[in-house]
Structure 1
Amino acid sequence: MNYTNLEVVSLLGVNISSPIPMNVSSSLRYVDLVNTNLQGVLTESFFLLPNLEKLILRINDLVERVLPKIHPSNTLLELDISFTGICGELPDSIGTLRSLSHLNLGGCDLSGSIPDSIGNLTEIRELNFRGTNFTGHIPSTISKLRQLTFLDLSSNFLEGEIPNVFSNLQELVELYLSRHSFVGPFPSSILSLTHFQSLDLSSNSLYGPLPNNASMLQKLTCLNLSNNSLNGTMPSWAFSLPSLSGLWFDHNRFSGLADELKMNPTLEILDLSHNQLCGPVLRSLGNLTNLVTFDLSSNNITSDEGVKITFPSLTCLYLSFCELKAFPHFLRNSKALEFLDLSNNAIHGPIPNWFSSMRWDSLLNLNLSHNSLISHLEQLHNYHNLLSLDVKFNFLQGPLPFPIRKLNNLRLLDLSHNHLSESIPHCLGSMAELVILDLRKNNFTGSLPSLCARSTSLTTIAFNHNQLEGAIPLSLHNCRQLEIFDVGNNAINYTFPAWLGTLPELRVLVLTRTSSMDL
């Protein structure tokens, strides 16, 4: 068949398992071979095609991974060789593709620095160098790319200060400079970009305070400055930008909030964790009524008692390591919770009745571990859709309530390091989804329950440091996924069943300090 007049080749996702053709039609304008298991060598012949407008070879594992010689072109508009394993330095000749509007080299194994000639691509709109292993600095010539709307240089090895080269890029909508070794203050030239919607400078070493005024960023929807060393006060503009939906200031050194905060009701995701905030932070943020995810972990905040706070849309709340001394009262109004973490605080005394009577049908994960709770566990069986219940390292007492069987979806149950007593209910053996069961360091007595009566999902059974006795139940033979079985430091007295050694995934078996047994 004669393909000399072929103009368009589009085989996206078709497993052709074929080498790249050496002789291609000079009429080709559009080539899309994304994820086709293309093999062989990318030759310079593609860059000599007089009419080629788009060359898209993304997600192929080329055998010969050297970038071929790039010839000047006034027709090529889009070049995408991301995730092809192409390696070596990016040549200066990349700047001769003067008509390029899209260039994607993401995920390639390039070396060296970004060439200054990149500034010659004055028609470029989208530039993606994510994860390409570039070193050095951001070239100042990027300031010439006035048509640029998307720039992703994240996950490279760039260093130094972020240069003030962005004030000319007035069309820029998205900028990603995360996971580098950038130092210095927040780059002020960014503040003049009126079309900006997404900014990610996370995981660098930026330091100092944020600017007091960023009123130009009216279209910003996502702002991620996490994992830096920024300090001072979180400015009021960060909470008042009218389009902002996600704000990540976590893992910095911020010490407070601005005195007068004008809250943006559109904010849905707020992460202020791992800072040095203290005092009535919850009161200051109480008007963020559309929050869906809220993380204040690892700060020193005070109680919200007596303060009217409502987060009716909240589904994920993380308040671990916050020095809380009581359950936050605003939880009464947060009826859509799915994830709740109050671990590692100073909450003491019984679980309040209002908390245990909440109808959180949507609650999937509850973590109250590392507190000083003294309640009976029967107060926590009301959340029927729980996947994970973690209340380890408390002072819970009394028996394990039989209604726990109603938690049919439970996958993790960790009640270790408490003062629970009496026998372990056999209903645990019929909880079909249970994967991890940890009851270590309690005061349980009686025999081991018949676990895996219905479930074969258990990977961890830990009953160490109790007062259990009797034989290992035969039902454990059904636990074919079991990796950890720890019943040490009990009063077990039995003949060791040889079949226990046939469990195919068993990696850890602890039987120390039990009564005498035949092995």
Structure 2
Amino acid sequence: MASLRVLNLSRNNLSGIVPQCLSKVSKSLSVLNLHVNNFHGPIPQAWMSGNKLKMINLGQNKLKGELPRSMVMCRMLEFLDIGNNQIRDTWPFWLGSLPELKILILRSNRFHGEIKSGEFDSVFPNLRVIDVSNNGFTGLLPSSYLESWTAMKRFHVEHLSYMQSNLYDHMFMAGLTIPDEYNYSMTMTNKGIKMEYTKILEVFMAIDLSCNEFRGEIPVSVGNLKGLQLLNLLLLNNLLVGQIPSVIGNLTSLEALDLSHNQFAGRIPWQLRQLNFLEVFNVSYNNLNGPIPQGRQFDTFLNTSFDGNLGLCGNPLSKKCEELGSSPPPFLQPLKEIKALNRNGEGF
């Protein structure tokens, strides 16, 4: 099949070992999708140099072994999903050299060890979605990556579009027109709900590091991700300590922030009131204390968002902040809003 561009066998009942020839298929192939089957054994090893693969989806099978290092030969790869398998390996830092990789899903495997960057000039320069949840990663959160994920810091679009593999031109066969693009799709937890995205907006950004064994504090470099348009930051079920960084308030387009089931202490930063698009907020089962920020999105969160923090007080909890030093500061309008009112003659 020398001209094959898309091979989609997803959502069937195929079993056995993934044929090695699929990693050596013709240089015309752009999409390889074996998602949701019963394949077992190792991932094909010999991915050839010069291939045109933009999407590889092997998720939700029973694949074992390590992630083949030869995948670094897929220089045009934009989408890689091997989630929900039984892959046992360390962090594949070498994937960071792929210049076009936008989506990386390693969820629910047996990855282990620390997440460290390799010796590359740039690491994951186009990455927009990363899901490594439900693995065995340890050590500190990868601050070096948070500092270097360029696409998550400075990304702007003039019009909404979807992540897809362009197949270069229309193909005609038996009177039918074959589309010239193939939309990427994925399943991911969003705002506490497992969701299937049949199309993925270019502006969608997500970081899911939940359900591992990360320890230490959240690095302040997380505040560098302020160029994001849609973001979910999920760090639940780890061993994180220290205070919640106030720089998270810089992520003004944040829609979901889940820090539950860690060991955070101190107060919830008042700067988080700047997150006007925050729909899901969960800091339950930590060691937080003091008053809960009031106003804006914080008026919409339920008690369950704060469960398991005996030192917290204020709405929506029944425990009131009685001490003068615990009273929340008055709600202040951001300076840019005050300036806008003045220009309209409605200010001071």
Q: What TM-score does the superposition give when structure 2 sets the normalisation length?
A: 0.68
Task: Quote the Cα distance in structure 1 between the aligned partners of 2:296 and 2:117.
Answer: 34
Q: Contact 1:274/1:299 (CA < 8 Å) preserved in 2?
A: yes
| C-alpha displacement of 1:168 | 1.1
The partner residue of 1:269 within 213, 232, 237 is 232
Written as runs of structure 1 = structure 2, the 5 A alignment for 1:83-482 is: 97-118=1-22, 119-144=24-49, 146-212=51-117, 215-240=122-147, 241-244=149-152, 245-257=205-217, 259=219, 261=221, 263-267=224-228, 268-283=231-246, 285-304=248-267, 308-309=271-272, 310-329=274-293, 331-332=294-295, 334=297, 337=300, 341-347=304-310, 352=314, 355=315, 373-374=318-319
Identity of aligned residues (%): 24
| C-alpha displacement of 1:258 | 6.4
Residue 224 of structure 1 aligns to which amino acid in structure 2?
D
Higher relative contact order (CA 8 A, sep 6+): 2
Q: Contact 1:203/1:226 (CA < 8 Å) preserved in 2?
A: yes
| C-alpha displacement of 1:260 | 5.0
CA gap of 1:337–1:123, structure 2 versus 1, over 3 A, is farther
Task: Quote the Cα distance in structure 2 between the aligned partners of 1:184 and 1:130.
Answer: 20
Q: Contact 1:108/1:132 (CA < 8 Å) preserved in 2?
A: yes
Q: Contact 1:204/1:228 (CA < 8 Å) preserved in 2?
A: yes
Task: Quote the Cα distance in structure 2 between the aligned partners of 1:328 and 1:336.
Answer: 10
The C-alpha deviation readout for 1:234-258, integer Å capped at 9, x for no partner, is 1224434233321000001110246
Residue 21 of structure 2 aligns to which amino acid in structure 1?
S
| C-alpha displacement of 1:155 | 0.4
Residue 115 of structure 2 aligns to which amino acid in structure 1?
L
Match of 1:430 in 2: none
The C-alpha deviation readout for 1:62-109, integer Å capped at 9, x for no partner, is xxxxxxxxxxxxxxxxxxxxxxxxxxxxxxxxxxx2221000000111
Residue 130 of structure 1 aligns to which amino acid in structure 2?
H
Task: Quote the Cα distance in structure 1 between the aligned partners of 2:112 and 2:253.
Answer: 30
Q: Contact 2:141/2:219 (CA < 8 Å) preserved in 1?
A: no
Task: Quote the Cα distance in structure 1 between the aligned partners of 2:3 and 2:226.
Answer: 42
| C-alpha displacement of 1:136 | 0.6
Task: Quote the Cα distance in structure 1 between the aligned partners of 2:28 and 2:87.
Answer: 28
Residue 206 of structure 2 aligns to which amino acid in structure 1?
G
Question: In structure 2, the residue corresponding to 1:108 is in which secondary structure?
Answer: coil
Q: Contact 2:244/2:269 (CA < 8 Å) preserved in 1?
A: no
Q: Contact 2:84/2:109 (CA < 8 Å) preserved in 1?
A: yes
CA gap of 1:282–1:254, structure 2 versus 1, over 3 A, is same
Task: Quote the Cα distance in structure 2 between the aligned partners of 1:250 and 1:342.
Answer: 17
Q: Contact 2:17/2:39 (CA < 8 Å) preserved in 1?
A: yes
CA gap of 1:132–1:305, structure 2 versus 1, over 3 A, is closer
| C-alpha displacement of 1:271 | 0.2
Q: Contact 1:130/1:156 (CA < 8 Å) preserved in 2?
A: yes
CA gap of 1:149–1:336, structure 2 versus 1, over 3 A, is farther
Task: Quote the Cα distance in structure 2 between the aligned partners of 1:305 and 1:101.
Answer: 51
Residue 18 of structure 2 aligns to which amino acid in structure 1?
I
**Greater share of residues in strand:** 2
Task: Quote the Cα distance in structure 1 between the aligned partners of 2:304 and 2:144.
Answer: 29
CA RMSD of aligned residues (A): 2.5
Paired residues in the alignment total 260
Residue 323 of structure 1 aligns to which amino acid in structure 2?
N
Q: Contact 2:218/2:240 (CA < 8 Å) preserved in 1?
A: no
**Greater share of residues in helix:** 2
The C-alpha deviation readout for 1:443-469, integer Å capped at 9, x for no partner, is xxxxxxxxxxxxxxxxxxxxxxxxxxx
| C-alpha displacement of 1:275 | 0.5
Question: In structure 1, the residue corresponding to 2:64 is in which secondary structure?
Answer: strand
